[in-house]
Amino acid sequence: MMRSLQTPKGPSGQLSEAYCYPPYAPMAMRPRASRIWHLLERLTVGVVAAIWYLITLPFRLLIGIIGILGRLAGIILGFSLMVVGMALWAGPLFILGIPLFIIGLLLTLRCLG
C-alpha cells in the first residue's frame, strides 16, 4: 500500500508555522478581551492555589511528623530485636535468635528505606 505524498507546509508570511494555528497564536495576536480573561484566570488560579497551600499546611506537617515518629519507633524496635536476636543466637537458644535477628533486620531496613 502506497501513501500519498503530501506537500510540505511552509510558513505563511513572516510568522513561523506554529503561529498559523489558533491554539499557538501569541498573546499579541489575540484579541484584547481574551488577554484580559487569560490574565484574570491565571491570577485566580494562583490565589486559590496559595490559599489551598496555606489551609493544608498544618495537616501536611502533622502527617509528616507522625510518619517520622512511626519510622523512628520502627527503627528502635527493629534494632532492639536485632540485639536480642544476636544475644540469643550466641547462646543456646539460637533457634529463636535467628528469626528474631532477621525480623529486626527487615524491620529496620524497611523503616530506613
Q: Using the predicted structure, report yes or no on whether residue 100 has a pLDDT greater than 90.
A: yes
pTM of the complete model beyond 0.95: no
Q: Using the predicted structure, report yes or no on whether residue 69 has a pLDDT greater than 90.
A: yes
pLDDT given at position 73: 97
Mean pLDDT for the chain overall: 83
Beta carbons within 8 Å of 91's beta carbon, 6+ residues apart: 97
User: pLDDT tens digits for 10-55?
Assistant: 555 555 555 555 555 555 555 666 778 888 899 999 999 999 999 9
Give the DSSP per-residue string, 10-46: ---TTS-GGGGSGGG--GGGS-HHHHHHHHHHHHHHH
Q: What percent of the chain has pLDDT over 70?
A: 71
Identify whether the C-beta of residue 104 lies closer than 8 Å to the C-beta of residue 78.
yes
Identify whether the C-beta of residue 78 lies closer than 8 Å to the C-beta of residue 71.
no
